[in-house]
């Protein structure tokens, strides 16, 4: 009888020793499984170029306040120095005079509006009438420094000097009283 008690005692101790690590491993595994791995949070762009709306509003604000060094950072261009400052000013004049006042409709999502699934890194923010027809004002998402940002596209920027000249012609004619503005 004492042998049976001792046998039960040995079995109980062995059972506790063998199941303890298994139970502990299950607890740590289930705790690790319930905790989501930390997500890499993309750094916020200090100029607000994370979204199409942020890019348009940021450029408009910087140019309106004469902050040329900031305004030029919204353009995807290879131009430098005074040329890019001049281009940013011309873009502001064109946007201010021709872009429909529907800025609240611009996408405020980092991925853009995704209106054209074939071009997910482009967002058309508006279409304006020019002397040569219509011009889509396009932003493009490009990787700069800490992550992707939305900038005015090279194609849009190439057309801006001519559109600016059109705007100035109309403004000059109106100031002389020879238009129906």
For 161-176, what is the mean pLDDT? 71
Query: Which tokens belong to 133?
Result: 């027809």
Between 172 and 60, the more confident residue is 60
pLDDT tens digits along 17-33? 555 554 444 554 454 45
Q: What is the pTM of this model?
A: 0.71
User: In this structure, are residues 70 and 47 in contact, taking their beta carbons and an 8 Å threshold?
Assistant: yes
pLDDT at 9: 52
How many helices (H) and strands (E) the chain has is answered by 5, 3
pLDDT above 90 as % of the chain = 54
pLDDT at 22: 47
Q: Domain residue spans in the chain?
A: 52-175
Provide the 3-class DSSP secondary structure of residue 149.
strand
For the chain, how big is the Rg over CA atoms in Å?
Answer: 31
pLDDT tens digits along 115-158? 999 999 999 999 999 988 999 999 999 998 788 999 999 999 99
CB atoms within 10 A of CB 133: 6
């Amino acid at each position: 009888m004492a042998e049976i008690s001792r046998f039960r005692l040995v079995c109980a101790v062995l059972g506790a020793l063998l199941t303890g690590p298994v139970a502990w491993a299950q607890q740590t595994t289930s705790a690790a499984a319930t905790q989501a791995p930390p997500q890499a949070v993309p750094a916020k762009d200090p100029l607000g170029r994370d979204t199409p709306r942020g890019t348009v509003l940021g450029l408009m604000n910087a140019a309106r306040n004469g902050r040329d060094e900031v305004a030029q950072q919204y353009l995807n261009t290879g131009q430098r120095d005074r040329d890019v400052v001049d281009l940013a000013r011309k873009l502001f004049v064109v946007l201010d005079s021709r872009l429909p006042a529907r800025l609240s409709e611009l996408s405020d999502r980092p991925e853009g509006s995704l209106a054209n699934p074939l071009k997910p890194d482009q967002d058309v923010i508006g279409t304006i009438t020019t002397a040569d027809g219509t011009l889509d004002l396009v932003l493009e998402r490009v990787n700069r420094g800490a992550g992707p940002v939305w900038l005015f596209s090279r194609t849009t920027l190439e057309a801006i000097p001519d559109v600016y000249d059109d705007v100035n012609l109309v403004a000059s004619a109106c100031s002389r009283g020879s238009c129906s503005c």
